[in-house]
Amino acid sequence: MDEPSTRGSRQHPEKLADASLVVALGRPERLPDAPVNPAVTLTSTYVATPGGAAPGDRVYARWDNPSWNGFEDALGSLEGGDARLFASGLAAVAAVLAQVPHGGTIVVPRHAYSGTLGLARSLEAAGALAVRAVDIADTEATLQALDGAHLLWIETPTNPMLEVADLDALVAGARNRGLLVALDNTFATPLGLRPLEHGVDVVVHSVTKYLSGHSDVVLGATVTPPTPRGEALCEALHAHRTLYGAIPGPFEAWLALRGLRTLEVRLTRAVANAQELAQRLSGHPAVTRVRYPGLASDPGHALARKYLRHFGAIISIEVVGGAEEAERVCSAVRLWVPATSLGGVESTLERRRRQAAESPTVPEGLIRLSVGIEDIEDLWDDLRSALDLCVS
Ligand SMILES: *Cc1c(COP(=O)(O)O)cnc(C)c1O
């Protein structure tokens, strides 16, 4: 698709480290007196080109807004493709699922994000597609489920069970059978995984989470590779966004780019906190199970080492006494915030099955911890005191 001329150039060589890229990408052109940050452009329409609209013209603000371009350029460069911002992560998921031919079959992890599964199931109920739910960590079973299907949806690690997929084996199997491959990269972020380098056709993000990072905005994104097939898909996703009106607000896009500036420092701290907490939680008498791919004992550890550049900042635990005790822990914390969602600077925790939409195969007492950037000792003291209640 023709890019408007004011879309920022990819002026930064790929050899820069991630910590530099997230700061440098998506800036306005470096001219005397130019601002260092993009503007929030509040407009619904654009002055027409004399003689009629030429391809690439913005025309109307449901089609394009320069406020989106800084974030799209930055995320696209980080992932190695072309990014499009959406009104929410689920709007981006919906745009990708809409690429499946009517009546087609999709293969989805049974522990994919509950909203993704919920949307897939509602499309199935409407007769638009058929859903095959798989254990994405069971490579053989997933490969078998691909026969006759149209789309493979990958989440790695999954939310909230933290299963890790054998990405290359799954992509190869999907390619051989002609499937489209989508990967929800919300947990790993482009700093942990670059799915396009593994042959994935489209990356999906809930920008709401780590990319924005402050729990103050709801946004989503897709990223497609710079190949003819990828460009056609990008155009279809852009058209879907325009026609369904799933567009981001200009200020939300600005907030997302500001959040992205600190992605590397936030993630580095949050992942270090999570690794330490996972180890300490494993030794707490109230904790019966810790799921965290960074633990050597975790079933996903070997694949996480192979594919992910960090082990993430999400930990799932189970406590003695099940659901009731888990709720007690969530109510007893004072620094941690009992809340859904994840990926913010503040640490949050939630018993996932309190959500009716969560998969019944997630244990009733499972608590998902989204580890933030607070002081590790403060986080541990608060969590340990809450957990102590289960064994006192
Ligand atoms: C939150 C989330 C989504 C949905 O994103 P929204 O921005 O809430 O619409 C999709 N996938 C994963 C893994 C998520 O955590």
What pLDDT was estimated at residue 8?
44
What pLDDT was estimated at residue 54?
66
Identify the segments of the chain with pLDDT beneath 50: 1-11
Give the pocket of ligand 1 (CB within 6 Å): 88-90, 113, 115-116, 159, 184, 186-187, 206, 208-209, 218, 220
**Which atom of ligand 1 is least distant from the CA of 155?**
13
Is 184 assigned a catalytic role?
yes
Is 62 assigned a catalytic role?
yes
> What are the beta bridge partners of residue 129?
104
What pLDDT was estimated at residue 13?
54
What pLDDT was estimated at residue 56?
66
What pLDDT was estimated at residue 53?
63
d(CA 151, CA 165): 16
| 252: CB partners within 8 A, 6+ apart | 217, 218, 219
Q: Are 181 and 199 in contact (CB under 8 A)?
A: yes
Q: Are 131 and 97 in contact (CB under 8 A)?
A: no
What is the distance in A from the centroid of ligand 1 to the CA of 305?
Answer: 24
What pLDDT was estimated at residue 3?
37
Q: Are 210 and 186 in contact (CB under 8 A)?
A: yes
What is the distance in A from the centroid of ligand 1 to the CA of 64?
Answer: 23
Q: Which residue has the tokens 């590397």?
A: 264
Is 147 assigned a catalytic role?
no
Rounded to two decimals, what is the model's pTM?
0.95
